[in-house]
Amino acid sequence: MFGRRPDRRGTDPDLTDAAGQVDGLAGDGWDEPSPGDAGASALGDPLRDALDVLDLGVAIADSDGTISFANRAAQVVLDAYDHLVLVRDLLVELLDEAAAGGSTRRTIELVGPPSVAYELTATPLRPGRVVVVIEDVTERRRVDHVRRDFVANISHEMKTPIGALGLLADTLADETDPESMRRLAGRLAGEVVRISATVDDLLELSRIEFGDEMEVDRVDLRPVLAEAVQRLASAAAGREITVDVMVSEPVHVSGDARQLASAVSNLVDNAIKYSPKGGQVRVTATRGPDRRVAVAVADDGCGIPARDLDRIFERFYRVDRARSRETGGTGLGLSIVRHIAHNHGGEVRVASREGRGSTFTIFLPALPPNEVSS
């Protein structure tokens, strides 16, 4: 949690005072500390050992303010000579506050990179002691942040089609001409399809992202690619686009066939959507010399501007919102692909030139040859 243990304090004279404030108080009434572990405990070895394996820092101060126990994680803070010095200062502050009154809790954020955040809670114990718990809340705050962004994005995404539904319904209610009514009803149905596609993709993304059990198996990629392409046969035919699958040798990976088919079909779907009528899409799976399998989907479509390449895998990011709306895109397809690649210990990359086309490649660890035989 708190990274490597720092060297003993005192090596940096600037920090000697702050360290001494805590250190000078140690070793009062507790067992003799083991080397490098000031503040060993009278709690008994098993309990001490248990506290030492915790990621949480736990420190106890006596009524006179001396730190009489610190588990391993708390000791890292007490010994700090780097950015954690600020955490130690806060710890000392909280000890005073808790000794004077009730429990106190404070969060401190250390600006990075990487930024980290700790939450410190000081609680009075009898008689006159204070326990401070130090928790690394960096990940929890990151997840909260992502969740908040996600909810804001979804609300924003849903607002447009739901607003359109309302307007269309109002107009339809006032309409008497059967032809206009049919047209409005058709547009209403189109918006419903859009909302439902977004909800389907969100459900798919949350299944993949928030840990629905993967069904891991030995997967032959040829039927997976064939299925993914088959799903989109009518979309391709509708735009007179040829989709060729080229796999010259059997290629196997360890993974979830359903997820892999979903990733490939998202890429093929995009290749079809962003290609001109009559275009050509090529799907290949090859074994690389680096024991990786590369599944590539290449098109000769509109391509992606270089400035957008870093962002297209973000949820709801579209290069051209109007075009994505036209093609019925949800902005979630590539996030799904990226999550699936990560779930399989792989990654997805893109090479693209505006006006020339794009190639998306999913790299996956190949199964060792001895596990390949069928």
Closest to ligand ADP by CB, 65 vs 303, is 303
Q: Using alpha carbons only, what angle is made at residue 310 by residues 309 and 311, rounded to the nearest 5 degrees?
A: 95
Closest to ligand ADP by CB, 337 vs 364, is 337
Q: How many helices (H) and strands (E) does the chain have?
A: 11, 12
For the bound state, the minimum distance from the C-beta of residue 316 to ligand ADP, rounded and expressed in Å, comes to: 8
For the bound state, the minimum distance from the C-beta of residue 337 to ligand ADP, rounded and expressed in Å, comes to: 8
- Give the one residue of 80, 87, 296, 302 binding ligand ADP; rule: CB under 6 A: 302
Provide the pairing of β-strand 67-70 with 57-61.
antiparallel
Number of neighbours of residue 158 by Cβ within 10 angstroms: 15
For the bound state, the minimum distance from the C-beta of residue 239 to ligand ADP, rounded and expressed in Å, comes to: 13
Q: Which of residues 326-355 bind ligand ADP (CB under 6 A)?
A: 329-334
SS3 state of residue 288: coil
For the bound state, the minimum distance from the C-beta of residue 301 to ligand ADP, rounded and expressed in Å, comes to: 5
- Copy the structure tokens of residue 34: 């083991």
299 forms part of the interface with ligand ADP (CB under 6 A): yes
361 forms part of the interface with ligand ADP (CB under 6 A): no
Return the range that interacts with ligand ADP (CB under 6 A); candidates 23-31, 58-66, 243-251, 322-330. 322-330
Contacts of 190 (CB under 8 A, 6+ apart): none
For the bound state, the minimum distance from the C-beta of residue 353 to ligand ADP, rounded and expressed in Å, comes to: 10
Closest to ligand ADP by CB, 57 vs 331, is 331
Closest to ligand ADP by CB, 134 vs 334, is 334
304 forms part of the interface with ligand ADP (CB under 6 A): yes
- Give the one residue of 228, 358, 362, 363 binding ligand ADP; rule: CB under 6 A: 358
CB 342 within 8 A of CB 288: no
Size of the chain, expressed as the number of residues it contains:
374
Return the range that interacts with ligand ADP (CB under 6 A); candidates 28-36, 47-55, 224-232, 302-310. 302-310
Alpha carbon distances (Å) from 9 to 15, 20, 38, 134, 172: 8, 9, 11, 20, 76
SS3 state of residue 73: helix
Q: Which segments of the chain are extended strands (E)?
A: 57-61, 67-70, 104-110, 116-125, 129-136, 217-220, 242-246, 252-255, 280-287, 292-299, 347-353, 357-365
Closest among 268, 287, 273, 277 to 360, alpha carbons compared: 268
Closest to ligand ADP by CB, 118 vs 360, is 360
The position carrying tokens 């088959």 is: 230
- Give the one residue of 271, 293, 348, 362 binding ligand ADP; rule: CB under 6 A: 271
284 forms part of the interface with ligand ADP (CB under 6 A): no
For the bound state, the minimum distance from the C-beta of residue 345 to ligand ADP, rounded and expressed in Å, comes to: 22
For the bound state, the minimum distance from the C-beta of residue 158 to ligand ADP, rounded and expressed in Å, comes to: 15
Q: Please name the amino acid found at residue 27.
A: G
- Copy the structure tokens of residue 27: 């070793």
Q: Which of residues 112-151 bind ligand ADP (CB under 6 A)?
A: none
- Which residues contact ligand ADP by CB under 6 A? 270-271, 274, 299, 301-304, 312, 317-320, 324, 329-334, 358
